[in-house]
């Protein structure tokens, strides 16, 4: 399977714990995005990388959230001191710049986080 | 004002019907436009990009109206398998903004 993969698919944690999610983009894609989606809403942009550089961060991304893409390939999203309001589906997407299909995003299956 | 606004529906239509969704966006500098489909508890999947000249893919037609800042999606001859949530997406530069989605149920 050469699509976007995310791990884990589900995470249940207690309030106050730290969690880390991983995203592996499509191999030739240089852009990687993180989104959060709650029930009945569309995905909300969190941040994106072009190669290893984090180019944009949403105001939604509090100090408890951090994302990395150290080698320009996979990315991690860490949430520190989780709160119940962090419960959501965390989606990763990747895209390739240049050419006619620039910026068409392909999504991974998501990581569903439940904070108890 | 939200970057992207969609009528959440739900739209319940019989098989074979034609249904249209609209989506408005607030940033006139927006450059790229897309329609995504999302099935229940699944990730969004690209349905089609929206080009200035309009484009068609089988039963699906997408159009862009820059002057009025809206995009539309027309589905002809609806199938049961078209039941899903349809998300419009707008890219004004460095971010992608998703609408809340429009729910479609095609009824036998």
Predicted confidence (pLDDT) per residue in A22-77, tens digit: 999 999 899 999 999 999 899 999 999 999 999 888 887 889 999 999 988 999 99
To 10 degrees, the CA torsion angle through A25, B32, B6, B64?
-140
H and E: helices and strands count for chain B: 0, 11
Tens digit of pLDDT for each residue in B48-58?
999 888 899 99
Cβ pair B101:A42 closer than 8 A: yes
Quote the CA–CA distance of B40 and B61 in Å, as a whole number: 23
Q: What is the mean pLDDT of residues A15-26?
A: 97
User: What is residue B43's predicted lDDT score, i.e. its pLDDT?
Assistant: 94
Q: What is the mean pLDDT of residues B34-63?
A: 92
User: What is residue B31's predicted lDDT score, i.e. its pLDDT?
Assistant: 84
Best residue in B9, B25, B44 to probe A by mutation, most A CBs within 10 Å? B44
Q: What is the mean pLDDT of residues B48-69?
A: 92
Q: Kindly provide the b/e burial profile for residues B57-81, where b requires at least 16 CB atoms within 10 angstroms of the residue's own CB.
A: eeebbbbbeeeeebbbbebeebeee
Quote the CA–CA distance of B15 and B106 in Å, as a whole number: 6
Chain B residues near residue A55 by CB distance under 8 angstroms: 94
- For B43, the closest of A33, A58, A109 (CB atoms) is A109
User: What is residue A102's predicted lDDT score, i.e. its pLDDT?
Assistant: 55
Nearest to B3 by CA among B21, B26, B32, B36: B26
Quote the CA–CA distance of A21 and A110 in Å, as a whole number: 10
User: What is residue A99's predicted lDDT score, i.e. its pLDDT?
Assistant: 52
Tens digit of pLDDT for each residue in A94-110?
998 765 555 788 999 99
- For A42, the closest of B45, B94, B99 (CB atoms) is B99
User: What is residue B96's predicted lDDT score, i.e. its pLDDT?
Assistant: 87
User: What is residue A28's predicted lDDT score, i.e. its pLDDT?
Assistant: 86
pLDDT at A20 over 60: yes
Nearest to B32 by CA among B73, B100, B99, B89: B89
Quote the CA–CA distance of A37 and A16 in Å, as a whole number: 21
- Percent of chain A whose predicted confidence (pLDDT) is above 70: 94
Q: What are the tokens at B83?
A: 């039941």
Which residues, 6 or more positions from A85, have their beta carbon under 8 angstroms from its beta carbon? A115
User: What is residue B95's predicted lDDT score, i.e. its pLDDT?
Assistant: 81
Pairing of strands B11-14, B102-107: parallel
User: What is residue A108's predicted lDDT score, i.e. its pLDDT?
Assistant: 96
Nearest to B42 by CA among A31, A9, A60: A9
The number of beta carbons lying within 10 Å of the beta carbon of residue B54 is: 14
CB B88 within 8 A of CB B20: no
Quote the CA–CA distance of A50 and A57 in Å, as a whole number: 12
Q: What is the mean pLDDT of residues B59-63?
A: 96
């Amino acid at each position: 399977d050469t699509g976007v993969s995310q791990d884990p698919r589900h995470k249940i944690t207690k309030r106050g714990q730290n969690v880390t999610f991983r995203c592996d983009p499509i191999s030739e894609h240089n852009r990687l995005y993180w989104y959060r989606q709650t029930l009945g809403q569309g995905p909300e942009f969190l941040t994106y990388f072009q190669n290893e550089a984090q180019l944009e961060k949403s105001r939604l991304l509090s100090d408890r959230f951090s994302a990395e893409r150290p080698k320009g390939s996979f990315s991690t999203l860490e949430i520190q001191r989780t709160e119940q309001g962090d419960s959501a589906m965390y989606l990763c997407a990747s895209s390739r710049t240049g050419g006619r299909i620039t910026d068409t995003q392909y999504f991974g299956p998501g990581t569903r986080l439940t904070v108890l | 004002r939200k970057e992207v606004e969609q009528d959440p529906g739900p739209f319940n239509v019989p098989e074979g019907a034609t249904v249209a969704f609209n989506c408005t966006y607030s940033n006139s500098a927006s450059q790229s436009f897309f329609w995504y489909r999302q099935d229940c508890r699944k990730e969004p999947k690209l349905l089609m990009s929206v080009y200035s000249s309009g484009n068609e893919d089988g039963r699906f037609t997408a159009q862009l109206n820059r002057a009025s800042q809206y995009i539309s999606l027309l589905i002809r001859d609806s199938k049961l398998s078209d039941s899903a949530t349809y998300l419009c997406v707008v890219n004004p530069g460095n971010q992608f903004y998703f609408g809340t989605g429009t729910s479609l149920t095609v009824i036998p």
